[in-house]
Structure 1
Amino acid sequence: MSFTKMENVLSPLDEAATLGDINLLYALIEVDPHILDHIEAIPFVDTPLHVAASAGHVHFAIEIMRLKPSFNFKLNPQGFSPIHLALQEGHKTLVRRLVDIDKELVRVKGREGITPLHFVSQTGDSDLLATFLSACPDSIEDVTVRRETALHVALKYKRFESFQVLVGWLSRNTRKGAACLQYSILNRKDEEGNTILHLSAIHNDLQALDLLIKTKMMELNAQNLEKLTALDKAACKEMGKKLLKAGAIRSSSIEVRPTLADELRSNITARKKVITGIKRIRESMSDSHREAYLVVAALILTAIYQSALSPPGGLYQSEIGAKNSASAEAGKSVLSSSDFFVFSLLNKTVLFLTILLTSLVLIPTGWVGFQLIGPTFSIAFSYLFSMDLISPNLGTQLVDQIIFYLFILVFIWVVIEMVINSLAWKLLKIQICAALRINRLKLKFRVEDMHSAYP
């Protein structure tokens, strides 16, 4: 991943860039106002910005960026952008100024898809690495032509401090979808199918291994293209012990999973059809429509809940000194049993449909949606309980019981689906499997110890 220095062709414009002479630049522009346009028309060329960046002339480079912003991302014949050359020559001040002006420069891909983030991950410049991540968080997702992330590069070139910065940034990131991003980046595979856990095992990097295990987000038994896990690639016994203790297993112990082609060929279950239908409705709904529907749903729920507080006709009131029979009716609806049944059934039906639509379609997925499900159904259960309290009927009718249990079943189903389709479920499965394997290993060792003690 080393950069080759460009050849200097000292045309008048290149001479101005080499010297950092802004006055000479404008003198040339006076002679030929299209002098920069001629260079822009060439697909791969050493622009004045390339020359100035390589020489470290901050003010001249900024002036060129202002005049021709397109030069920021232009590659020279060797496949390098101006910021790549500035990094190569160690002009950190210029690099920081370039990124301040255009944060997307952190993501510009040069030769072999190498970005400035990849480059500083390789060289081990932790300060610049942190600056790049803060300026352009999306750059963490960029990969080279070998499908290597910045974490792969840091491990490949044994830059543990850079690796610490990258993992630490992922752990502290609070942007939308941060948890999913962390899980995805930590378990991303390169062109050989190796995750960073594989690389830490291959390079015998115990520090990196410990750091990754502590994140609790690693797929310990991910297989590369050779169908080998990190435990299979462990370079020493100590690393093997650490992986075993964390719950890793060898590839020979992993059950063969159906491929995507096998899954697509299989029959679609009723559950899959329902889930697919819900997802299609979610995807086809715009944010503005979802917000409008949420407002309507909130108004409906408010109106329905109000009906339990103030039913038609009101409630019987208790009076001081009233007889026992009158006191027994206090707080009950004044409606007849048949009228209250119809009123209650209509309200509960609307409540059920509104809660179902809100929980399955309108509430966002992920942790936010998972946290909203509980309060949403709590309102429904509170309403059912309130209606039962004010019912003029003695005892709970069969229909009320059916509706109540129906709400419970829907609530359980929605929670299970949200958990299964969330990152939390993946992490939970990883931790449960790891715990089970650890206990199984402990039991195995105890049995072996007993056999050795009592042959």
Structure 2
Amino acid sequence: MVQTMKQLYEAAMEGSVTRLLDLLKQDSLILNRCTITTYSETPLHIAAMLGHLDFCSELLSKNPGLSEALDSRRSSALHLASAKGHLGIVKILVSARPEMCLAYDGDGNNSVHMAAMKGQVDVLEELVKVRPEAARARVKIPENWTTLHLCVQYYQIEALKFLVDALKDQEFINAKDDSGNSILHLAVADKQFEIIEFLVSKGQMDVNALNSKGLTTLDILAQTRRDSKYFEIAYFLQLHGARRSSQKEILSNNQSSLSIIPGGHKSEVIDFETSIRKPSTKNSYGEWLEEQRQSLMVVASLIATMGFQAVITLPGGLWSEDLKKYMGNNGPDNEIILPHSAGQSILALKQPGTYKRIVFFNTLGFVASLGTILLLISGLRFKHKSFVWILMVVMWISIFSTASTYLLAVIASVTDDLMDDFDNLYYILTNGVSAMLCLLITAHTIHSTRQRILKWTIKKKVCLWIVMVIVWVSVAVMWAKLFPYYDPLDILIGACVVFATFFVLLYAMQIKNFIVNKVKSCFQEFKSSWTSCNQDRTQV
């Protein structure tokens, strides 16, 4: 019998209906015995979990009672099929025993809860159609959550949307757990903006509901980290009437005065801004400053290490012996060997120009990185953004120097007859570095001076453009002297394109603001005229 039972479980693993029928011919009671063996689960559990539809159908046709059997975790086959999303198996299981939709497993979940946690929307649709009350049943542990709480907790927005639209029960949507938290409280705590937007836009959520600690959604949001999502969610909730618990008390005591103040809703937003947003901005700035300091420290340490390593591993290596006498053409293969000492760079004698450039850029990056590290570990408190921006510019110089050192090392290691084959490599590297620097300079210029430059006259803007071009001409000339293989005209063209694009963007933003303001004013005029017409009609 033990061997037969083992074959039954192997057939369930394979989903082999033929083997199942053969085993039933050998022992017609084998399906009854499998429920009282020491196995932790029945063959139906295995087949349902693996998605063997035909095997499950055959099992239930022979013994429908298997759908009520529980495994060692008190899960039914319906729990497993729902979690895995096997819709066909779910249908035959609920048709055999519909009441199993309400059965709880060892964790306090029914089959609807399992499908919701895994986001199996098609399974949810079938289960809710058969037993709608299963969707309203609460999770027994740990917080007495509803199915909607599970959807929020496990980030299953599609399952949440289906349940809200299918059940259409405002009381169920606003239900709270043992801590007094609604699903909106949970969504705000996790900053799930898409879920918040869906719930609030439905118009059925109480955005000012209090939990057991007397906190509203804005109170919970105020306890989270201040980032871009924080301000986005705060603004959205305020637009839909959300307030802090302290504001609710103040507004209830001054309701009459608020009712006669035009734009009363706007004043509520300002109250929240003054009580929450200002300190949050300070905290956010401090966190940003600390993150930037840590990032700069890591990058500076890495570049300093690379710079030190580059000195002791220069291209060509070092001389291993002293040579005090000029050998002329008496060296091996008639090579001219100049006097040198052990430990000196071979590249310094063979290609002195390239060697000087490598040492210059490597030293520049190394010293800039060490200076950055020294300032960051000095213990001085730098609270201004300008300090961080200066350090970032220094790090750009270090990165540029590292890239230049690499390029020069490649040039030094390539023979003259292969130099033509590497023209594309030089072009890509130099243009890549130039493009990155142009992009950084342009982005930070727009970020820091956009509002100021937009107010300038055309004459000032043209002067700025000319100054920028002069700067880039100087950069191109220096580049041409350092890299004789590179045509500086490409740098000039790239610089002109970048800064022309910069000013086009500035003018585009200026035109965009003008158009948006015009459209808004026209819309307001139309709205006011429409309102006045409706009032006239009402009076008539």
The structure whose RCO (Cα within 8 Å, separation 6+) is larger is: 1
Identify, as 1 or 2, the structure richer in helix.
Answer: 2
- TM-score w.r.t. structure 1 length? 0.48
Specify the structure having the higher radius of gyration (Cα): 2
- TM-score w.r.t. structure 2 length? 0.41
